[in-house]
Amino acid sequence: MLINQRTIKKPVSLSGVGLHTGNKTTITFKPAEPNTGIRFVRTDVDQCPEIPADIEHVVDNFRDTTLGIDNIHIRQVEHVLAAVYGLEIDNIVVEVDSNEPPVIDGSAKPFVDVLQKTGFVEQDSPKDYLEIKETITYSDVEKGIDMVVFPSDELRITFMVDYKNPALGTQYTSMYSLSDEFVKEFSPARTFCFLHEVEELHEQGLIQGGSLDNGIVIVDRQLSEAELKNLAKRFGFREDIILGTNGILGGRKLRFYNEPVRHKTLDLIGDLALLGVPLKAHVMAARSGHAAHVELVKKIRKVYKKKKLTSKYQARPTPKGVFLDIQAIEKILPHRYPFLMVDKIIDLIPKEKVLGVKNVTYNEPFFRGHFPGHPIMPGVLIVESMAQTGAVLLLDSFENPEAKLAYFMAINDVRFRKPVYPGDQLQIEVELVRFRPTSCKMIGRAFVSEELVCEATFMAAIVDR
């Protein structure tokens, strides 16, 4: 069933204090046109450009998710993103008059409430879902982080935390349906922090707007009455702090028995919004945080970019093992017979690596003169095959690759290992090792039956066609 995009009916605002600055800040949500996506604007900055909420604009992910463009940053956006993504809003402009949105109660619920109150409008453009077809993994052995993405007919999340700390212990949760469970079961989950982390952040001049009303502080060390009084004075609380029997500073009651892991799930939903498209997948996460989420989103984003490439250039279904056929290649490269030296692309990882194939037949025109009676493929044409294959990868880095050309600046470290004969199939692997808007460096290797026949390093300039 075709599902259309949606935005909100009318602008709506919410005010509070920023978690880190403690400054009063107002956030305003505004409707946006189809295919706009989620975009942030700092209204306190003159002529501030819109900052797209996508993985390319993440500038920091240590303790929260920070977006930026042209040295203009906005931090702590994950709760806002979770609210927008969890309500399945596709297009919206988010204006903030500070470098961070208001923290309110430390959850996404206040944003969810105002967005639901203003209502939604269906738009005349279909949603572009990213459906995961194969397993994607991310691991950090040193930190004990594991994340796996499986195929699913809708977004599902399974999350486990284990901090090896008796104050929190091991917690687990599952969200089986974003549309059915997000609003009631996950959006109210508040941010949490261990007491020693709160003290460290305060020493760094951060969390100036933090309080026991907008976060759960888990006590991870013994505290005397004197220390509790000092804490109250240090953080500017008007009344004494009590040590709750539940191990939470101030004795604050949890909204859920496993509220911390539900908030981690909330953070993950906000970070998944950085894909820029709604996701159909089951994401399983263990002990992950914003940094790991960003790395996983980068991996998933590459799958999405591959999907966009095939939908843009590949007009007909391809057999298994073919990513782009010759007709698709002709839409990207300007070369034609007798100088189109790549027949198909079998795989492509955007901005990383491409695998291509050149079938070497006896009908190639160069075999008549190279050499009569002993035909072998000219080495320069093997190099040309690698360069053209690399150009497919390189030109994917631009919005309209058909409007660009790649010119050689240098070819270095060329090695010919074995001759290539009629009937051989060149399997070409090209890796992008450095990219700039006007130039790049690539390493190419060509194989026949898994044996290396040629390798070279390319420098190319990118110009308008």
Positions marked active-site: 290, 370
pLDDT at residue 27, as a whole number: 98
What is the enclosing helix (H) or strand (E) of 281?
strand 279-286
149 beta partners: 136, 283
Q: Give the list of residues 6+ apart from residue 240 with CB closer than 8 angstroms, or none.
A: 228, 229, 232
The CA-atom distances, in angstroms, between 44 and each of 14, 26, 32, 52, 131 are 16, 11, 20, 17, 38
Q: How far apart are CA 361 and CA 211, in angstroms?
A: 73
The CA-atom distances, in angstroms, between 216 and each of 14, 193, 424 are 22, 6, 65
pLDDT at residue 232, as a whole number: 65
**Angle in degrees, 0-180, between the axes of helices 109-118 and 78-86, rounded to the nearest 10:** 40
Q: Give the list of residues 6+ apart from residue 20 with CB closer than 8 angstroms, or none.
A: 75, 76, 100, 206, 207, 208, 209
pLDDT at residue 156, as a whole number: 98
Distance of CA 317 to the CA centre of its chain: 28
Give, for all 465 residues of the chain, the pLDDT tens digit: 689 999 999 999 999 999 988 899 999 999 999 999 999 999 999 999 999 999 999 998 878 999 999 899 999 999 999 999 999 999 999 999 999 999 999 999 999 999 999 999 999 999 999 999 999 999 999 999 999 999 999 999 999 999 777 768 899 999 999 999 999 999 999 999 888 777 777 777 777 777 778 888 888 777 767 777 776 666 656 556 666 666 787 778 899 999 999 999 999 999 999 999 999 999 999 999 999 999 999 999 999 988 888 888 888 888 888 999 999 999 988 899 999 999 999 999 888 999 999 999 999 999 999 999 999 999 999 999 999 999 898 866 666 666 777 788 999 999 999 999 999 999 999 999 998 888 889 999 999 999 999 999 999 888 888
Angle, alpha carbons 302-304-305 (nearest 5°): 65
Contacts of residues 244-251 at CB distance under 8 Å and 24 or more positions apart, as own/partner, are 247/167, 247/218, 247/219, 248/216, 248/217, 248/218, 248/219, 249/195, 249/212, 249/217, 249/218, 249/219, 250/212, 250/217
pLDDT at residue 465, as a whole number: 80
And the tokens for 138? Answer: 């991310």
pLDDT at residue 108, as a whole number: 98
Given strand 353-359, what is the order of strands in its sheet?
A: 344-349, 353-359, 425-436, 439-448, 451-464, 404-416
pLDDT at residue 462, as a whole number: 85
Q: How far apart are CA 90 and CA 127, in angstroms?
A: 8
Q: How far apart are CA 107 and CA 127, in angstroms?
A: 27
And the tokens for 268? Answer: 């993950």
Distance of CA 132 to the CA centre of its chain: 14
Q: Give the list of residues 6+ apart from residue 142 with CB closer than 8 angstroms, or none.
A: none
* Nearest one of 342, 265, 234, 230 to 78, comparing CA atoms: 265
* Nearest one of 312, 342, 300, 328 to 429, comparing CA atoms: 342
Instruction: Indicate the SS3 state at residue 200.
Output: helix
pLDDT at residue 197, as a whole number: 77
pLDDT at residue 388, as a whole number: 94
**Domains recognised in the chain with CATH numbers:** 4-124 (3.30.230.20), 136-310 (3.30.1700.10), 314-464 (3.10.129.10)
Q: How far apart are CA 351 and CA 431, in angstroms?
A: 9
pLDDT at residue 240, as a whole number: 60
Residue in the block written with tokens 């690399």 = 390
Instruction: Please give the span between the terminal C-alpha atoms of the chain, in angstroms, as a whole number.
Output: 41
**Angle in degrees, 0-180, between the axes of helices 78-86 and 259-272, rounded to the nearest 10:** 80
* Nearest one of 98, 107, 455 to 267, comparing CA atoms: 107
